[in-house]
Amino acid sequence: MTTYHHGDLPAALRAATVELIGEKGTSGFSLRQVARQAGVSHAAPAHHFGDVRGLLTAVAAEGYERLADEMSSAIDGVDDAKERLRRCGQAYIRIAFEYPGHFAVMLQRDLFDTEDEALLTASVRAYEALSGTIEMVRDQLNPNLDVDQAATFCWSAVQGLVILSPNLDSVAYHQDTKFTETAELVDSFCDFMINGFANTPTTP
């Protein structure tokens, strides 16, 4: 069991929750188990988060905050659209691989309160880091590019790589092809996307 620092009890409870998610999945634990994992009183999780849904909402918000911070930091000061898109993708997979427990919650909207203010603020920041990048792609390459649609394609594709990543080695082995690391695939994906966005037909 991990030893938690209780100077910030809510953070310790979120960390304990993520650890339990790694062991039991997103629905295989109780507040009592979270308290036991964190080494605190059984009443602590309910006091801070109310119920499991409230706790998972806080975990999802924390995940989006980390994602938004990483993406914003990665693209800060970058003026080339292609490089900025590449950095967005790399930042996304770094956080997804470093915090899989958070992502397991973030991708299941039925587990948390989608109207939570902290979660909405963080998720919008993450999306704006990507959409601002796509706006730069539009401005540099194609004035008729649909920014929201292109951002949706990018987010969906990179998340697809995250989900498929554990199976890629096996697929390469059985197909007798070279295994390519996910980070390299993100770079290749950016090339494909940039070329596609630049050549998207103009809207009539």
Q: What is the pLDDT of residues 55-84, one digit of tens each?
A: 999 999 999 999 999 999 999 999 999 999
Q: Which domains does the chain have, with CATH numbers?
A: 1-50 (1.10.10.60), 59-198 (1.10.357.10)
Mean pLDDT of 7-17: 89
Higher pLDDT, 179 or 129: 129
Question: What torsion do the CA atoms of 162, 85, 70, 120 make, to the nearest 10 degrees?
Answer: -80
Higher pLDDT, 173 or 52: 52
Q: How far is CA 168 from CA 92, 107, 126, 160, 173, in A?
A: 18, 21, 27, 12, 9
Mean pLDDT of 113-131: 97
| 150 — pLDDT class (breaks 50, 70, 90) | very high
Higher pLDDT, 196 or 35: 35
Q: What is the pLDDT of residues 159-201, one digit of tens each?
A: 988 888 777 666 655 566 665 677 888 888 888 888 888 876 6
Predicted local confidence at residue 46, as pLDDT: 92
At 168, the amino acid letter reads L
